[in-house]
């Protein structure tokens, strides 16, 4: 299990599903800003999607609040599956 209080993006391999983010009007760089700003709230995603999916809530540098759905795989690998404005 990930200790999100000690999460450091530089220590992770992070991929972005550009098509799914774009379908919701979110650019890859905006999703990256949410993760790198370290001012987000994390909670598990729906149980039906498994124990390794999380919801990230945070803000871009421009102040846009986003919700990201992230899948964690392996030791330090994650994929931002999708996201949208909240």
Rounded to two decimals, the pTM is: 0.90
Structure token pair of residue 39 = 């001012």
What's the whole-number average pLDDT of the chain? 92
Spatial contact of 26 and 32, defined as CB atoms under 8 Å apart:
no
Structure token pair of residue 60 = 């871009």
Name the CATH code of domain 4-85 (choices 1.10.20, 3.30.410, 3.10.450, 3.30.450).
3.10.450
Report d(CA 2, CA 27) in Å as an integer: 26
**What's phi and psi for 22, nearest 5 deg?**
-60, -35
Report d(CA 33, CA 53) in Å as an integer: 19
pLDDT digits (tens, 9 = 90+) for 20-55: 999 999 999 999 999 999 767 888 888 877 789 999
């Amino acid at each position: 299990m990930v200790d999100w209080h000690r999460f450091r993006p530089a220590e992770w391999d992070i991929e972005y599903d550009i098509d799914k983010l774009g379908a919701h009007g979110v650019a890859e760089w905006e999703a990256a800003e949410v993760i790198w700003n370290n001012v987000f709230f994390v909670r598990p995603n729906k149980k039906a999607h498994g124990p390794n999916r999380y919801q990230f809530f945070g803000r871009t540098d421009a102040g846009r609040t986003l919700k990201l759905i992230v899948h964690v795989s392996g030791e330090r690998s994650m994929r931002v599956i999708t996201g949208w404005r909240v």
